[in-house]
Structure 1
Amino acid sequence: MKVVLFCGGFGTRIREYSESIPKPMIPVGQQPILRHIMHYYSQYGHRDFVLCLGYKADVIKDYFLKLNRWANSDLVISNYGEQVDILGQQPPDWKIALVDTGMWRNIGQRLLAVRHLVADEEIFLANYSDGLCDVPLDDMIERFRKSDKIGCFLAVHPPFNFHLVEFTDAETVRRFRSSQEAEIWINGGYFIFRNRIFDYIREGEELVLEPFSRLMEDGALMAYKYEGFWRAMDTLRDRQVLEEMAERGETPWRPNCVD
């Protein structure tokens, strides 16, 4: 199953990094967050990727052009360097389409730009490329397959708590409630689509606005609610949390990977 990864945004909320590299290339541990996400899908057998590039597309292209299968593996080198053998688990064999979808396109238009690359896929996966989670992907896909829906997104709780304000009138505060108490769910950026999603997207439209509204009108959109680990990298604080987890060896999004 092909995986479409949206890698073209500016990452303005984490500008300290994104001024020099695109957001998906910001490192978590020793690897860019993009590579962690690709490993997540790879461990479920999905190794055919379509990367929708935009801002600093050359940085991502250069990374994969220079990537070799020995870089993060233990090796045995013999015959004066002529023979290289990998010890232990082999790195995954990925097929990666690197498509420059433009600097200023939104996610809906980036998806339209790679429509031809998923034309033969009855179902395909998609991801914002800025968040990590340990959702059981096989179960998420199976529930979607059994449904008659056209789109599915991962629904998660915000990883932080904030106070909601209720009013009795325009100015008088009635009470505060915590966001956890209110059972708030947000879009986690992990998607599954049937190919008919393209019938719902018009020129210029953002993916989760008009197209998702049409899906909801037709009863064709579902959410996979998940209360396990999820964290988006929207701010420097988010990146710090993920970096500290990686330093401790806590990588629930990649439990079976050594690379």
Structure 2
Amino acid sequence: MKVVLFCGGQGMRLRDYSEKIPKPMVQLGYRPILWNIMRYYAHYGHKDFILCLGHKADYIKKYFVNYDETISNDFVFEDGGKAINMLKTDISDWRITFLDTGINANIGMRLMQVKEHLKGEEMFLANYSDGLADLNLNAMIEWFVEQEDKVASFVAYQPTQSFHVVKKQDNGIVQSISHIGSAGLFINAGFFVFRREIFDHMEWGDELVSEPFQRLIAQKKLVSWEHNGFWASMDTYKDKQVLDDAYAKGDAPWEVWREKMG
């Protein structure tokens, strides 16, 4: 299946980085977070990507046009560098479509602009470009395929941050306060699976979750897959530090492709 990735946002909460480079290109280990997400999908056999670009689109284009396989792969250096023989490669079998979908477009508008590039696709995948997970993608897709009357699915994740959820009356009287992890709340963590019919429920200008998803909810055509494993979003500088620390310690559960490598 083709994979649509939303890469056009301005990443204001990662301002220390995103003023210089687009948020999807913020480095995590040897490669940008966008590459880590693409490598995740490639691990499951989905290597035909559509990148919805916007903010600093040229940076992302140049990165792949000038891609250097030697940075994160083993190779043999011979004849003073005249011959470099790769022992393994990352992206040699990837197909990437680069589409400038506008700086100010929302997610729904970006998705609508790639419709023509999804001709013939009964189903396709989509995701934000700042979230990582150890999600069993095959299991989620197989589950969704069995639900033939459903149009869209996403990952529902129970947050673990140290926030407390407060329930109160209009006069300010607190009725309850509980840790967010025990409040029964879930967030939309992305990792979408769509049938092509999603476009029948969209209008230009719609934000994906705000309008199309509400229409699907009313028709009972939207489902979510509960994921209880690892999930993290690189949304803030603190998020990046946490992921950098995990990577430095060799604890990077999103690198599901390492399973094949042993």
Partner of 2:90: 91
Contact 1:22 1:55 in 2 (8 A): yes
- TM superposition shift of 1:187: 0.2
Q: Which amino acid aligns with 2:165?
A: L
- TM superposition shift of 1:256: 2.6
Contact 2:40 2:257 in 1 (8 A): no
Q: Distance in 2 between matches of 1:167 and 1:130?
A: 33
| Greater mean deviation of Cα atoms: 211-220 or 172-181 | 172-181
Partner of 2:35: 35
Identical columns (%): 46
Partner of 1:9: 9
Contact 1:159 1:231 in 2 (8 A): no
Q: Distance in 1 between matches of 2:175 and 2:108?
A: 39
Q: Does 1:181 align with 2:198?
A: no
Partner of 2:131: 131
Q: Does 1:104 align with 2:107?
A: no
- The DSSP-based 3-state class of the residue aligned with 1:180 is helix
Q: Does 1:229 align with 2:217?
A: no
Q: Distance in 2 between matches of 1:131 and 1:39?
A: 13
Q: Distance in 2 between matches of 1:10 and 1:80?
A: 42
Q: Distance in 1 between matches of 2:82 and 2:111?
A: 43
Q: Which amino acid aligns with 2:116?
A: H
Partner of 1:58: 58
Report the TM-score when normalising by structure 1: 0.95
- The DSSP-based 3-state class of the residue aligned with 1:189 is coil
Structure 1 gaps, min length 5: none
Deviations 1:74-103 (A, max 9, x none): 21133554433222x432421100110111
Name the count of aligned residue pairs. Answer: 257
Q: Which amino acid aligns with 2:175?
A: R
Contact 2:39 2:257 in 1 (8 A): no
Q: Distance in 2 between matches of 1:16 and 1:218?
A: 42
Q: Which amino acid aligns with 1:91?
A: D
Structure 2 gaps, min length 5: none
Q: Distance in 2 between matches of 1:91 and 1:231?
A: 23
**Compared CA separation, residues 81 and 169, structure 1 to 2 (3 A):** closer
Q: Distance in 1 between matches of 2:209 and 2:174?
A: 32
Runs ≥4 residues deviating over 6 A: none
